[in-house]
Structure 1
Amino acid sequence: MDSSRVWRAYLLGGMVVVAIYLAMPYGIGRDLTYVAIGMSSATAAFVAAARSRGGVRMLWALMAAGQLAAAVGDAMWVYYEHVAEVDPFPSPADAFYLLQYPLVAGALLMLARHHRSPENREALLDSAILTVGLVLPYWVLVIGPNLGGYESPLEQLITLGYPFSDVLLLAGLVLVLATSRARTAAGRMVIAAMILVMAGDMIFVLTGDAIVYGMPISLAPFLLSYVIWGAAALHPSARDLLRPTSDTPPAFTTGRLLTLTAVVLLAPGTLIVQLAFGFELSAWPVAITSAVLFVLVVARMAVMLRRLQHQARRLDEIARTDMLTGLPNRRTLDAQLVRDYERTAHEDVPLTLAMLDLDHFKRFNDTYGHQGGDQLLAGAARAWSLLLSSADMLARYGGEEFVLLMPGRDLAAAEHLLQALRLVTPHEQTFSAGLALWDGRETPLRLLRRADTALYAAKTAGRDRVVRADPPSETEGPSLEPSAFAGG
């Protein structure tokens, strides 16, 4: 049978067997049917482990072992009740039942660790807030009322072992949901099965062996969990439980915010309900939970604030940087020009600006493609940057044009630096450049315009050369003087 149909057949067949079980009269036959359902679920999980590789195999092996432990507990329960005819509680069967929880929790921890992201601290804090908040009503409704009143410490220990194991399972389940969510059909069915297990435990602790239609009502969730777990193991997506996911953590959505808010309000809400209806106050549990939640919420806010600050710095960096070359962009250049104007004027040192343009860049693009052109731009930026001092700044002006700001260098020193840049330009490419010296009075826009005019003259004169612009004149435009080391 096609694997895509096997899990459907198992799920449908399992539901039919559960219906038959519910219709059967009390007796060993019905209880053996219950054991068979559990064993089939464990077998399906072992099949999933055998079909998988690597971490997924270990994941399913842990869950299969947990299912098998629970099924063995069921078999022992049947033995004590129908063969030995003794009370199955407490008995070694409870040890197998309780063994299921750490095994399954280990599988959940594997799943959460695999899907962790660089922002995993936020998910961990969210899961801690949810777990601590949800444990409070569980304590008030389930654990607290069952403290004391048992004939032996062993009976008390086993009875409390189930809700405390549920807390362990809840913590693992919340951690998985907070870090990665259920991304496959098999994952969603596994989560549903675990929720049914916890629901069955809660019903058992609250109602004991309450019988409805001749059957303890706590058994229905366990039966359904077996069937759904087995279907998850046979689903084609069972091998994809550790499927790689994005490094981006789950977004802090409105739904998540409302969920966290509701959970945090459970502590004061518990006291309000108890005061309103005259119940016994759970002062210590509420006080301790409130204190822990307060610390967790503050930690969550601190982590979120640090992430927002990091994102703000990153956005500012992106806004000031050319993404292709990694050089400062036009916005950063304009700001740096203003700062260098002030500094060079104060220190009485020269400020020279060069505008560079890679020669025949369109022809290079047509020959090697746009990706080749991008590589040339990025490579030239890297090669030129290695020759600059800490005071110089190379910025991408636009297209294949760059601006080199050289505070402290006069025209001769600037020309010497440009000659060095020519020698390291990648792919044996050349560039033309216009060079302008700030006269101490002109605006940054005028200085750039003079350098651009000189660059145009260099390209008109044959490219692969530097043209120097004379200081501006009040009555006429700048005269252009070719550099002594202009290329041919």
Structure 2
Amino acid sequence: MSRARVDALIRLHLAVGVSLSVVCTLMPAGLWHDVLYTFISFGCVAMMVVGIRRHRPPASLGWWVVTAGIVVWAAADVLWAVYNWILHISPFPSPADALYLISYMVIAAGFWCFVRARRGEGDREGFTDAAIFTVGSVLVSWVLLMRPGLESAGESATERVLAAAYPLGDLLMLALLVRLLTTTGSRTPAFRWLVAGNALLLVADCAYQYTSMTETYTGGLITLPWLLSYVCFSTAALHPSMRRLTDIGSGETDPQFTRGRLLALTLASLVAPGTLLLQLALGLRVEAWAVGLSSVVLFLLVVWRMSGLLRRLDEQASRLADLARTDALTNLPNRRTSDAELERLQTRARAEGSPLCVAVLDLDRFKSFNDTFGHQAGDSLLVAASAAWKAHLDAVGAGAGPDRSVMLGRWGGEEFVVLLLGHDLPAAATLIDSLRPTTPAGQTFSAGVSGWDGLESAGEVFARADAALYAAKAGGRDQVRVADPPGPRSGEAPAPKVQPGAAAATEPVT
């Protein structure tokens, strides 16, 4: 079926469903009222089946379970109508009550399937947010529904259990609804219709329970949100976007802490003190234990939520620090990190009297390689070369001892830097030369190596290595050149060398 025909079917379904729901609400209570009510409810169930079978969503289990829950709810409505209008009895409790309670659990199970499919079962922040909102709702339900219901239920244990079971069923569905809202993922039209259906069902159910404590239920406006909930559930299943209900969304894997969520959590956290203040102001019965216990639980949940936020901030700060220190392509230390490490090693070399050398490596004819094979192949060469060089340097330096260290970093483009602490100039040049056979894809590199004289700045010792690199390129590439020693500074004698034997290692290593 084309998209236009699907849209037309949805519009027709909404028009018919809403119109019949309004007509049913305005009809006086009676057999024909309940016949129309049953027609609407099971007609919407049929539309849900049509939508699921037509669109075949990847995670169909949740849709089928929710549909089964709606069927059980509608069957309970039918059974209640049979008792009332055909058998002319009103048993309480009755099998209809059992069906209603079962439907709560089944619909909630369907929503849990959606939560899991949207990868929400391991989401600590989303679970905590849902728990905060649910605890606040439990207090409101206790004050408005559960306690008054228990007091008006009489002495029968079964009646008292049911008086508490119905509000608990609503709270279960509310908890799963909020949990679904706190998952990350696409907010498709089907998602919004599904949420609306659950919300309308809860509104009607709570209104019915509150009304039943003071008067006999005779239909009226409370019927409308019940019927519209059926229409919303079926519209969600008919909409093509129901296939994308379990999509994670635009690359998001973490729940977003928006202002709307912050406002909702703030209001939920204020439910307990707000309830207490309202009861005191109106001279109502103070629910001290309920308010006290919910306040403790809410406080602990908020602390837990804050610890999660702090943990996430620490992780994000750590990731940002890694990004600032690391080259994104090769995962090697970047230029900024290499600069800082060279200055740190200079301080250590001066304190320990250890030799320190700097090598600069440059892949030969890298631009031609890129032009011939493409930039993606060039990136792959950079990654493979850096990995091969690092593996070789790590293997050679594995048993070198604590007084030696070797760090490979990416300076930029096809240029790399190697910092060698504890290696004199001949040893450093030999080690860099040993990297040549490990270079992948038959490629070669040129390199320049300089030894620090104990007085040069980081920029000066690197500049001499860079000059030696360009000398190696000018001399035919695929070789390692040792930099000339630094000349004497004006007004002072030549500085003594930190590395023994460094002055002799000025010939090219080929």
Matched, 1:113 2:116: yes
Quick check: 1:7–1:232 contact (8 Å CA) kept in 2?
no
Report the counterpart of residue 338 of structure 1 in structure 2: 343
Structure 2 residue corresponding to 1:197, chosen from 185, 195, 201: 201
Deviations along 1:214-266, whole A, 9 cap, x unmatched? 73432221111112212222222233322343442231112211211111011
Structure-to-structure mapping, 1:50-449, within 5 angstroms = 50-51=53-54, 53=56, 56-116=59-119, 120-151=123-154, 152-180=156-184, 183-208=187-212, 215-245=219-249, 246-388=251-393, 389=397, 391-449=405-463
- Change over 3 Å in CA distance of 1:148–1:181 after alignment to 2: farther
Deviations along 1:411-467, whole A, 9 cap, x unmatched? 221122122211011111111111111111211111011111111211112211121
Structure 1: distance between partners of 2:230 and 2:434:
75
Deviations along 1:167-188, whole A, 9 cap, x unmatched? 0001000100011366221121
Which range moved further: 463-472 or 214-223?
A: 214-223
Q: Secondary structure at the match of 1:392?
A: strand
Which range moved further: 44-53 or 177-186?
A: 44-53
Q: Secondary structure at the match of 1:238?
A: helix
Structure 2: distance between partners of 1:375 and 1:449:
28
Structure 2: distance between partners of 1:304 and 1:225:
36
Quick check: 2:468–2:483 contact (8 Å CA) kept in 1?
yes
Report the counterpart of residue 19 of structure 1 in structure 2: 22
Which range moved further: 94-103 or 167-176?
A: 94-103
- Change over 3 Å in CA distance of 1:300–1:6 after alignment to 2: same
Quick check: 2:327–2:333 contact (8 Å CA) kept in 1?
yes
Quick check: 1:45–1:63 contact (8 Å CA) kept in 2?
no
1:482 CA displacement: 6.7
Structure 1: distance between partners of 2:30 and 2:421:
95
1:19 CA displacement: 2.7
Structure 2: distance between partners of 1:322 and 1:295:
41
1:281 CA displacement: 0.2
Quick check: 2:185–2:252 contact (8 Å CA) kept in 1?
no
Deviations along 1:118-165, whole A, 9 cap, x unmatched? 971111111111111122112111112111332432223223222110
Q: Secondary structure at the match of 2:151?
A: coil
Deviations along 1:188-225, whole A, 9 cap, x unmatched? 1111111111111111111128589x734322211111
Structure 2: distance between partners of 1:10 and 1:210:
35
Which aligned runs of 4 or more in structure 1 are off by greater than 6 angstroms? 476-482
- Change over 3 Å in CA distance of 1:466–1:364 after alignment to 2: same
Q: Secondary structure at the match of 2:392?
A: coil
Deviations along 1:321-363, whole A, 9 cap, x unmatched? 1111111111111211122112222332211111111111111
Matched, 1:461 2:475: yes
1:53 CA displacement: 4.5
User: What is the aligned-residue identity percentage?
Assistant: 44
1:117 CA displacement: 5.7
Structure 1 residue corresponding to 2:39, chosen from 24, 36, 41: 36
Q: Which amino acid aligns with 1:121?
A: R
Deviations along 1:83-109, whole A, 9 cap, x unmatched? 111115432111112211111100111
Structure 1: distance between partners of 2:99 and 2:332:
64
Structure 1: distance between partners of 2:221 and 2:161:
23
Q: Which amino acid aligns with 2:357?
A: T
The gaps in structure 1 that reach 5 residues or longer are none
Give me the CA root mean square deviation: 2.3
- Change over 3 Å in CA distance of 1:210–1:240 after alignment to 2: farther
Structure 2: distance between partners of 1:484 and 1:282:
89
Q: Which amino acid aligns with 2:163?
A: T
Deviations along 1:465-484, whole A, 9 cap, x unmatched? 12111321216999998745
Quick check: 1:383–1:424 contact (8 Å CA) kept in 2?
yes
Which range moved further: 293-302 or 140-149?
A: 140-149
Q: Which amino acid aligns with 1:414?
A: A
Task: Count residues in correspondence.
Answer: 485
